[in-house]
Structure 1
Amino acid sequence: MMSNNTGIRRLLENARFEVLPTATIAEKVLASVPRDTTLTVTASPAKPLDATLGMAERLRAEGYRVVPHLAARMINGRNELAEIVDRLRQADIDAIFVPGGDATPGEGHYTSAVELLDDLATIPHSFRQIGVTGYPESHPTIHDDVTIQSMWDKRRHATHIVSNMTFDAAGTAKWVRRVRARGVSQAILIGLPGPVERAKLLTMGAKVGVGESLRFLTKQKGVFARIAAPGYSPEAFLQKLVRTADEPAMKIEGLHLFTFNQVAETQAWREQLLASAR
């Protein structure tokens, strides 16, 4: 039985699933994930952004609330951004997540999430939620000072901060407190890898570039080992995090679960923990 059942239940009920826009993911989602689950669809420089947008449209048409990732460095300036905004409006998609992305920006493309967000503020849109990235653990290629400044710059546009993948509950709690001490007040979703099978994880990991979460893994030494190690436990992380999450001033709204497209396994795990917490 998990401790602090009310807090655990709130985090799990407000968990969203990150999926990669592969050929089979829609069928997997439809077979195992309830329609009231929020899904985020990653963007990858290995695929055109249309793969992300097309999958988001398909899942939205099936009744899911969908959050496409608009990787800034994959978008060629304001005109293309305006077209994407209109396309998502027609699909009744009212939430986006804006990372910088791993692509090398071409001529005329945005070079950062801040640039895209500045332009988005000048375009009429119907997005109720705009998420940006936070880094509880150091980014493998960006200095901590830069990530901190970037979050401060993006706060005026964002409604949510979505943390990158994290394994250190105590470090995450300290990070949340530092964010609040700087005067950043947006709600936070904690990025957490769900339970994954080692063989499937390694198979997905071999497909370098299929999604931002996997690209992050290939850069972060030891992350595969941390997920796949026998001692890794999302439940233990939640037990430690919930004490901070229960503080209203911290505004930890829920979880962003990295599923690596193992959506059936992730949903079964969530249902089991919810049943225990009830």
Structure 2
Amino acid sequence: MTGKDVARLEEAGDTIPPGTRINITFLAGEDTTTRLTAARAVKRLGFVPVPHISARRLPSRPALEEFLGGLAADGTAENVFVVGGDPARPEGPYEDALSVLRTGLLHRHGVRHVGITGYPDGHPGIADHALWTALADKAAAITAASFAGDVITQFGFDVDPVLAWLEDLRARGVHLPVRIGVPGPAGVRRLLGYATRFGVGTSASVARKYGFSLTNLMGTTGPDRFLHALAERCDPARHGVVKVHFYTFGGLRTTAEWITGFRQRNTFAPPAP
């Protein structure tokens, strides 16, 4: 959700299981009050708030302290997600997520669990070797600071690069749980727009695997095929602890209702020990 989605969350609340982790983005144009209000609403409704901290959008160390202090005062600081952020140039002293992790301020304000980013489809503006180095460094910093943590990935349409990336991740010694990004049900045109923005592969073959056509952009699609393929092919021995993270694209209730229906329609055998 964004900071401005409180009303949408309240409207969708009865469709979301208690204790669900709900991420709160750190968008440009939203102030600290808006973000803190959203985190309080998530907690009030019985869910776990996961406020984002966008390193490159922070204008100063005092701004980071103000945000963390507000979260701590509200009892919503235990879980955060730290991301580099979109600006080409940092708006303050923090170049990337690692620089925020190294401030020591997270521990001081009661943070216990830190999420970081992963990019199975790569990043349009960052070379793969730099992504791997950054991910390894952030995972090491999380472990060294005795945080619990996980990796949340960009969303994608193809399970193949996700599974290959997971194997590579474990081979590189990163064993944090991973939440694979999954797009909630949405219009094809909208999904493709987000995919282009975030560098997600959308070739004709990928589209067919996922279940939509690049020649018919007017329909709506959900991630049924993707989730089935992930469940069938994910092997804990090779891929580690894997969960999912839904990107709602503003459709909180639509996504929550889709998840409920998917659970009712499907049962999955537990993985072999």
Which residue of the other structure, out of 161, 165, 178, is the alignment partner of 2:168?
Answer: 178
Alignment RMSD (CA, Å): 2.9
State the TM-score, normalizing by the size of structure 1: 0.78
Q: Secondary structure at the match of 1:102?
A: coil
Per the alignment, residue 68 of structure 1 pairs with 51
Q: Once the two structures are superposed, what CA deviation does each residue of 1:136-185 show, in whole Å capped at 9, x if it has no partner? A: 00111111111111101101233111111121101100000000000011
* Higher deviation after alignment, 92-101 or 156-165: 156-165
Q: What is the match of residue 78 of structure 1? A: 61
* Superposition deviation, residue 47 in structure 1: 2.8
Q: Given that residues 181 and 244 in structure 2 are in contact (C-alpha distance below 8 angstroms), is that contact kept between their aligned partners in structure 1?
A: yes
Supply the distance in 2 between the matched residues of 1:188 and 1:116 (Cα, whole angstroms). Answer: 21
CA contact (8 A) 1:71 1:99 kept: yes
Partner of 1:108: 92
Match of 2:131 among 147, 159, 178: 147
Aligned to 1:21: 3
Q: Is 2:165 the counterpart of 1:165?
A: no
C-alpha contact (below 8 Å) 2:56/2:91 kept by paired residues: no
Runs of 4+ in 1 over 6 A off after TM superposition: none
- Higher relative CO (Cα under 8 Å, sequence separation at least 6) belongs to 1
Check if 1:53 corresponds to 2:36.
yes
- 8 Å CA contact 1:195–1:233 kept in 2: the answer is yes
1:104-145 CA distance string (max 9 Å, x none): 555533111111111136752322210000000011111111
Between the two proteins, what is the percent identity of the paired residues?
A: 27
Structure 2 gaps of 5+ residues are 143-148, 215-220, 268-273
**TM-score, structure 2 normalization:** 0.79
Within 5 A, what are the aligned runs for 1:199-278?
A: 201=190, 214=194, 217-218=196-197, 220=199, 229-230=212-213, 233-248=222-237, 250-278=239-267
Number of corresponding residues: 249
Code of the residue aligned with 1:20 in structure 2: it is T
Cα distance, 1:45 vs. partner? 2.0
Partner of 1:20, secondary structure, is coil
- Displacement of 1:43 in angstroms is 1.4
Note the alpha carbon deviations across 1:201-257, whole angstroms, 9 max, x for none: 48xx6xxxxxxxx5x743548759958935865111112212443415523331110
Give the corresponding residue for 1:210: none
| 8 Å Cα contact 2:120/2:153 also seen in 1 | yes
Which position in structure 2 is the counterpart of 1:119? 103
Determine the C-alpha separation between the residues in 2 that align with 1:132 and 1:261.
22
Change beyond 3 A, Cα 1:28–1:220:
farther
Question: Which 10-residue stretch deviates more, 114-123 or 34-43?
Answer: 114-123
